[in-house]
Structures are given as structure tokens and as C-alpha cells.
Structure 1
Amino acid sequence: MINYNGNLLEENTQFLDHQNRGLRYGDALFETMRMVNGKLFFWEDHYLRLMASMRVLRMEIPMDFTMEFLESKISETVAANSLTDTQARIRFSVFREKGGLYLPATNDIGYCIETIPLQSPFYVLSDVLYEVELFKDFYVNADMLSTLKTNNKIINVVGSIFAKENEYQNCLLLNSSKQVVEALNGNIFLVKNGVIKTPPLNEGCLNGIIRKKLIDILGKLDDYQFEEASISPFELQKADEIFITNSIVGIQPVTKYRKKEFGNTMAKGLLGKLNAVARLS
């Protein structure tokens, strides 16, 4: 079952058509969240990011789009799919209603909620081979639009195809200044000699929820120095650790980049702290 504008529909129901602006122009946003036993991880952060992004794109926010209302609609959808007492991946999509060309006929919005089951209730560390490479065919723009979770993800799609064709588990994206900004599916953190770095938002990386949570956690650690700073491709092979973060996986350590293999000591320590924060969110 999916939820379209508050109505539960069978998944094979045809509820979108060729005029949908998300399809036509990528005029849409989405949030991907983890829900465990009916509890949304970091729901307030996801909600506030969605509202801020809708304002940036000049979408009309309905009066009933409160945290409580949207959470109830997500819960209804989860229950309809018999996932209330287990763990699920939630995708909440918002799109401007159909009409107009580049200039919309209206700023009113529609929404869709989808759910799929997840295997683990909390974040777990994967210890499998996870090799990455730079994706240099196209670049991320270092502007505010790149920090939003919009449906304009063609660089991520093409980069994912490149990764599969070359048997990489992921690729790292560069901005137009040739700085590393993020992975195909999440933010990137680099550890070297007690210093942990992640690119700043003004370089074009996604304003990730787990990125934000880890920055809060790292700010309380005495044994490490944290920096929001540019990451040059030349730094990658000199790093002690590299890991990728997103709201579904949590923390994914990179095990190999070119000839360099990496440990995961910092990632392991942070994962426990992230799970503790998630349980309290």
C-alpha cells in the first residue's frame, strides 16, 4: 500500500500521470527515513529539513502539514503494510501539482508515502569489501540547490551505473572546484591523525541528517579534532579512515580507494553513539 495525498492505495494503482511535475521537471523533494517499531528516527530533523527545502523551492506549505499530521500519515501507511512492529524504510515525496511549463500554474503540492521493510532495527557496521572511486564525468554545483534532497539526482544515477560497470561499491562526487563533496548516496567523512573532516555545505554537499548528528557527536569528543573543511582528492589515499553516512545505513566504512586500504576504528566508535542518539530521538 502507498499513501497518495492522504489516501491509501494499492501499489499497482495508477495515481500519477504524464503531467506530474516531478516527472516533467524534477519539481519535487523527498525524505528517506528509518522507522523502527512505529518510531521515526530523527523525525524532527527530517521534518524541518523538508519544510525549509519547500520554502527554498517556493512550494506552498499546507496549513495541516504539521509534524503530528505527517507522522500520523506515515504511521497509517506503515500499519497498512504490516510494518508497525518491525523496521521499515520510509520515502516521503512532495511535488508541485501539475500545470504550467517551467513556470508552474500553481505552487500547491501533493505528496506520496512509500514503505519497504528493513533487515536490522538499528544501524550496524558492514565489514564487507567497500571500494570507491572518483566519478569525474560530471560535477556537483557548489550552491544551495545541491544541498537540498530534490528529485534532480541524475549525476547520482549515472555515477551509480559507472560504479556498477567498474565493480565499485560507491563513487565520490567532485564539485566544479575539483574538491570531494560527497558519495553517491551520502555524506563523506575523512579521518587523519586525530582530525575528522567533512566538506562544508557551501561546497555543494547534501545537508544530510546523519551528517548533522555526527557533527553534534564529534563536537563532544575530546580525543579528536573536527573540521568542516574542503577535502582534496589527494587527501584520500593519505587518510586513516573514510566513511559515508546516510539515514538508512547510518555509517558505511570505505575499505579501499585505489591502492589504499582503510581501517574502521573511528566508524565503529561513532556507530554506537549514533544508535544511542537515534533511540532518544
Structure 2
Amino acid sequence: MSCIIKTESEIKKMRISGKLAAEVLEMVEKHLKPNISTEDINQICHDYIFYEKKALSACLGYHGFPKSICTSINDVVCHGIPSKKQILKEGDIINIDITIIKNNYHGDTSKMFLIGKTSILSKRLCQVAQESLYRSLKIIQPGIPLYKIGEVIQNYVEKNNFSIVKEYCGHGIGRNFHEEPHVLHYKNKENNVILEKGMIFTIEPMINSGHSQVKCMKDGWTVKTKDRSLSAQYEHTILVTEYGCDILTWQKNERISPTLFNKK
């Protein structure tokens, strides 16, 4: 398993794609209130990507996926399909997952949004999911094996008595939506690609408040927790640099710098 090292011109394009994906999440936040349907959220994002940013949604039509974004509410782990029938309620948590294509290059990111007043458990789950991602970003630098990312995430999540979904992982990204390598969110020493400057991949831990087991619904896309416990996910596209990493999908209001100097 290898990872494509990106050229300077490719990195430049990836920075643009990453920024655009981040801007979609920044834009949509003000629309996320009780009584909006996930289909309306999808349309708002689609129009913004297509008309405002002159970009494409990578999700739309990907292996037959019918919408421009993924909307995963409460016990939905990932790949939720927007629908007119699905209405946000006070207390819900929702992950919105955006992947755009601009100049043939992809930018991929997701985050959790809390709708109105949510439970203490919902808030804590989202905080731990985001912090597990942040902690993994703070160790990235050339020369470390890829499994260290998963080790950091797993240690932090399990210390907080939550569980990690192992069926889905981060991935290399560039001209293609999914490239090598697979980025696991738990420790597996076989995941031993050595990080090099110029690698670009996503890290996107999915964590559950209950057991880690998941099930795929009849639509062939929507993945839910088996025990109906809550699930949360945050995702960034990152570039390995000589000094650490750059977060290509960094958004305003993040509790982390877009540029991380991790090399001692």
C-alpha cells in the first residue's frame, strides 16, 4: 500500500478544493435549525457548490449515491441520504459530509452540528470525536508510521468510554475521491506506510456512545449503530509537510491552527 506524493501544482489545487469544501460547512450552519428537512439542506449545499463556487459535488452519482451531500443524524454513523421526510428536531445531532471537485481535484470534510439544546451525552460525544481528530493531527510529520494516527485516536476515544467504528476509514485523496492508503482509526501495525512530505489523505474517526457494531440499511448506503446509540464524526483532508501538517479543510471557529508544526 503506497500513497501518491503530490506535486506542488497538485497541492495548490488541493488547497483550493479543501478551502471550498470547508466554506460549504461554514455557509450551511446558519440554516441548521429545527423543522428543516435534510433534502432542503442538500439543496442549499448543492446550489452553493454548483452556482456560487462553480464546483461539483463528488458525492452526487458516486456509485449511484443520489444526493450532493451526506446527512447523518443521531444513530446514523455515515452516508445518510438527504430526504424530504427527514426533519431536524430540537436536540438532534447531525453530521454533514461534503466532498467537492474543483479543477479535477477533491476536497473532503465533515463535522457535527448540534440542533438547539442537546443532551450532555450528545455534546460530550461530539467533543471527544473532534478532539480525537485534533490529537491525531498533532503527531503528523514525515517519518512516522501511519498506524500511529489510529493509535492516538483509539487511546483517546476508549479512555473516554466510547467506541470506534472499524468498518470505515480515512483515505488518500487527490484526482480520485479515494486513493491509497487506508487510514485506520485504531491501532493496526500492518497499517505501516511511512508518512512523507506531499502525502494528502483524510482522517475521519466515527465514534459511538455505545457498542462499535454497525449495520447498513436496505437503501445500501445509510449506516447505523446496531444498538441505536449515538454516533459522531469529524473529518479533515490534510497535507503532510516537512514540519508537520496543513489542514486543507480548516474552518473558522476551529480550536486548532490550520498549520501544525509537529516536528521537534
Asked if these proteins are the same fold (TM beyond 0.5), I'd say no
Q: TM-score, normalised by structure 1?
A: 0.26
TM-score by length of 2: 0.28
Q: Which has the higher contact order (CA 8 A, sep 6+)?
A: 2
Structure with greater proportional strand content? 1
Larger radius of gyration: 1
